[in-house]
Structure 1
Amino acid sequence: MKSRYLFLILLMCMLVQWTWAQNPILKNSDSNFLYVADPAAEVYNGKVYVYCSHDVDTAVNYSAMQDYVVLESEDMLNWTNHGVVIKPREYSWANGQMNAPDVAYKDAWYYFYFPYNKTQIGVAKSRTPIGPWEEAVTDKITTIFDPTVFIDDDGQAYIYGSDTKMNIGDKGRHVMGAKLKDNMLELDGPWHRLSEETVAEAVHCFKRDGKYYFMGRKGWRTSYWMADSPLPTEKYAVFKGYITKNQIDAPTHMSAIEFKDQWYFFYQRGDVNDGTFYRRSACYEKMEFNADGSIKPIEFTLDKGVIVNEPVTPIKH
């Protein structure tokens, strides 16, 4: 009898591990496979939507990034790939390299924030999470690298990023933040430096138990800061350290969501799907917290049978 119970327990553990192993989200064996990167995850109407930049199959740098893909799931196990849903270069005012996007919802509109020419931020809007998307502006609303938008419980919206590749604050690269007006299309005041430490790119913000978390790429790892307000201007957000290993197959880019009482960490990697530093694939892991609110280290996982590419040498983004 004991052996039977032991067998059942082992079987259940194997099934849990098997059903959880999902990475990468899209696999190159899929009929509609695309290389998707910079995953910005959001929860709308009881579903998860992941807004991704798009690496073309022949990419040898990032200059070919020009459109965006949406992934959707009701259970974090089965994913719908909606393919390319927005092509900002069809707008007369948007051109050049288009990096990491983000989407925010307010007053019955979904707002799609995308960079063009690397750091100029344009906006499209839609009545649904997947489009169709239409121009919300006819020019950039601001300049920042890797924009992310957060709406607080009181309805106030904020935009974050890093001052990489520009000079809008103190010398160096830092976590930057600013208020957005109610129309979601204009800044409501200046940019503020939020971190004492430097950060390369990929800033993301979320809120948990009244605390504000700011993630970013520092070196080749994901680091994070914590603060008591969404725009800490009297003192910098507190640097809490690193939560991922050194990642050299792709620049670290992340987002985090809570879905059905579980937190998830989304990221990208270039060592799967016959990918490279410039042909990346979106992945995700469960994210856990310590009693003091700090984030536990995150381990990267893969589906059984996924072939991992040879290590690559990191290249300047």
Structure 2
Amino acid sequence: MFENKKIIGVLLFSFLVQWSWSQNPILRLGDKDFVYAADPAAEVYNDKVYVYCSHDQDTAVNYSTMQDYIVLESDDLKTWKNHGVVLKPREYSWAHGQMNAPDVAYKNGWYYFYFPYNKTYIGVAKSKTPVGPWEEAVTDKITTIFDPTVFIDDDGQAYIFGSDSKEDIGDKGRHVMGAKLKDNMIELDGPWMRLSEETVAEAVHCFKRNGKYYFMARKGWRTGYWMADSPLPTTPYAEFKGYITKRQIDAPTHMSAIEFKNQWYYFYQRGDVNNGTFHRRSACFEKLEFNDDGTIIPIEYTLDKGVKTNKPVTPIK
């Protein structure tokens, strides 16, 4: 009897801990200056978390109206400052078309904002602060790839990653792709390289933990992940380890991962909250935990108490 009570107590405590920290979604419909913040690229700068998001319009029925970028900021992952739209690339004479998932990287005193325009052309803006104001760092695309993400290794070498799902780069098919960036952060330093044996759809992200490199991407309608001993694993490719998510809720999965105050977090999007849809998404996050061998423990999606969900829409496959 005592053991049964002890087990029930442990399970209840675990549930309460998980429930009590849940902050999802980050922004709530009805809040002042609410926006649909999608494709969250989380970064840690100056002991604060900054989440760089694409912007779904309130009336969006597809992704063609995506045209600017949002920044969310927090120093505790409980209270968030919504900076709203901070970058409007269409104000640049050379940037046009659909502007989907971005990323930001810091080097040599500058924050570099990598944004797609025309879906796969990669432009760059820069700023002296994590939130702007942003100025043109280039006057044309620096490369073509889908859903760019930038990672700077411990030795200062910068890399850019993405998928060739909408670009014909390298081997036929859709794979995790990577390339070096020059020290100026606005030019490739070599060709794009294929990093995965398996095919992916989109949303590539890279992070490093305990000397291992992790690559995440949408595979089917879930987040798959790979591990490698180098940032450009080509011989052999990065090893596919399985899935981080069991499912995805009414939105194509797009994710990022950070370590903040000795805890890892997984940021993602969902379309079943805030009166959202497949094309009106909201940023969320969960704790990210690892097994002793470095593999990732699959996450469970959570919502803050009282948050209502819409009926999920089955994605078109």
1:146 alignment partner in structure 2: 147
Partner residue, 1:133: 134
**1:174 maps to amino acid:** H
2:309 counterpart letter in structure 1: V
Q: Give the aligned residue type for 1:164.
A: S
- Listed one character per residue, the Cα deviations across residues 210-258 of structure 1 (whole Å, up to 9, x for unaligned) are 0000000000000000000001122100000001022150000000000
Report the counterpart of residue 86 of structure 1 in structure 2: 87
Give the letter for the 1:122 counterpart.
Answer: G
Kept in 2: contact 1:226–1:238 (CA 8 A): yes
Q: CA RMSD in A?
A: 1.7
Distance 2:316 2:120 in 1: 20
CA offsets, 1:32-59, max 9 Å, x none?
Answer: 1100100000000000000000000000
Q: Does 1:266 align with 2:267?
A: yes
CA distance in 2, matches of 1:15, 1:290: 22
Kindly state the Cα deviation for residue 171 of structure 1 after the two structures are TM-superposed: 1.0
SS of 2:207's partner is strand
CA contact (8 A) 1:174 1:194 kept: yes
The answer as to whether partners of 1:248 and 1:314 remain within 8 angstroms in 2 is: no
Relative to structure 1, the CA distance from residue 201 to residue 10 in structure 2 (aligned partners, 3 Å threshold; closer, same or farther) is closer
Q: Contact conserved, 2:38 with 2:54, CA < 8 A, in 1?
A: yes
The AA in structure 2 aligned to 1:202 is A
Displacement, 1:313? Answer: 2.1
Quote the offset at 1:17 in angstroms.
Answer: 4.8
Who is 1:27 aligned against?
Answer: 28
Aligned to 2:102: 101
Secondary structure at the aligned position of 1:99 is classed as coil
Task: Report which stretch shifted further, 16-25 or 105-114.
Answer: 16-25
Q: Residues 14 and 173 from structure 1, CA distance in 2 versus in 1: closer, same or farther, beyond 3 angstroms?
A: closer
Contact 1:19/1:77 (CA < 8 Å) preserved in 2? no
Where structure 2 has 5 or more consecutive residues not aligned to the other structure, the ranges are 1-5
Cα 1:307–1:239 shift into 2, 3 Å: same
Contact 1:36/1:54 (CA < 8 Å) preserved in 2? yes
User: For the residues of structure 1 that align with 2:18 and 2:216, how far apart are their CA atoms?
Assistant: 28
SS in 2 for 1:140: coil
Supply the distance in 1 between the matched residues of 2:30 and 2:104 (Cα, whole angstroms): 28
Q: Write the letter of the residue equivalent to 2:201.
A: A
Separation in structure 2 between the aligned mates of residue 269 and residue 233 of structure 1, nearest angstrom: 33
Q: Provide the residue aligned with 1:158 in structure 2.
A: 159
Separation (CA, whole Å) in 1 of partners of 2:12 and 2:241: 38
Name the SS for the 2:101 alignment partner: coil
Contact 1:104 1:150 in 2 (8 A): yes
Q: Distance in 2 between matches of 1:14 and 1:154?
A: 40
Match of 1:247 in 2: 248
Summarize the alignment of residues 52-71 of structure 1 with structure 2, pairs less than 5 Å apart.
Answer: 52-71=53-72
Map of 1:115 onto structure 2: 116
2:54 touches 2:68 (CA, 8 Å); kept in 1?
Answer: yes
One-letter identity of the residue aligned with 2:74: S
Q: CA deviation at 1:10?
A: 11
- 1:315 is displaced (CA, Å) by 3.3
Cα distance in 1, alignment partners of residues 262 and 102 from structure 2: 25
Residue 215 of structure 1 corresponds to which residue in structure 2? 216
Please report the TM-score for the alignment, with normalisation by the length of structure 1. Answer: 0.95
Contact 1:220 1:248 in 2 (8 A): no
Taking the aligned partners of 1:13 and 1:271, their CA distance within structure 2 comes to 25
TM-score (norm 2): 0.95
**CA distance, structure 2, for counterparts of residue 154 and residue 10 of structure 1:** 43
Structure 1: runs of 5 or more not aligned = 1-5
**Aligned residues with identical type, % of pairs:** 82
Letter in 2 for 1:296: I
Residues 288 and 173 of structure 1: is their aligned pair in 2 closer, same or farther, counting only changes over 3 Å? Answer: same
Contact 1:98 1:117 in 2 (8 A): yes
Distance 2:192 2:163 in 1: 10
| Partners of 2:303 and 2:217 in 1: CA distance | 23
Q: Which amino acid aligns with 2:76?
A: D
- Displacement, 1:165? 1.0
Instruction: Give the SS at the match of 1:169.
Output: coil
Give the match's secondary structure for 1:76. Answer: coil
Amino acid at match of 2:131: I
| Contact 1:250–1:280 under 8 Å retained in 2 | yes
Specify the code of the residue in structure 2 equivalent to 1:254. Answer: M
